[in-house]
């Protein structure tokens, strides 16, 4: 499920969103493409995708444009949205834990429906 970034975070409205999600084990190319799309389209982070299927990680905000927003942290699974294009991006920055891929995919499939 999605944990909102803040009370002001935009929620997903009902309707058919297109979900973009990287293929993690392919040399980080998918993750770089998702980063490029999020950055180029100026997508808003709406929350964090809670899952026990990924290895835990935290790091610096990858899309910081000024020192004031560079203190925000980034986690293993974040959700970005561009409602005008009905687009949702699920950025994954960690590897899957063995045998937990199927439960993850089942949860992630519902992102575009909510």
Q: pLDDT tens for the chain, 114 residues: list them.
A: 677 776 655 555 556 788 888 876 667 888 889 999 999 999 988 988 888 888 887 877 777 677 766 677 788 889 999 989 999 998 888 878 888 777 777 777 665 554
Domains in the chain with CATH codes: 16-108 (3.40.50.10900)
Distance CA 28, CA 2 (A): 23
Q: What is the pLDDT of residue 114?
A: 44
Residue 45's contacts (CB-CB under 8 Å, 6 or more residues apart) are: 5, 9, 78, 79, 80
**Side-chain half-sphere exposure of 43, counting CA atoms within 13 A:** 26
Query: What is the reported pTM?
Result: 0.77
């Amino acid at each position: 499920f999605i944990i909102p970034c803040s009370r002001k975070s935009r929620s997903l409205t009902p309707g058919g969103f297109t979900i973009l999600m990287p293929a993690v084990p392919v040399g980080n190319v998918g993750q770089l493409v998702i980063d490029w799309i999020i950055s180029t389209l100026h997508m808003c982070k709406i929350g964090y995708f809670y899952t026990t299927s990924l290895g835990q990680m935290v790091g610096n905000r990858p899309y910081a444009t000024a020192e004031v927003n560079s203190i925000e942290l980034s986690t293993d699974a974040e959700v970005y949205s561009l409602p005008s294009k009905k687009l949702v991006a699920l950025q994954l920055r960690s590897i899957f834990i063995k045998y937990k891929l199927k439960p993850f995919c089942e949860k992630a499939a519902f992102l575009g429906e909510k």
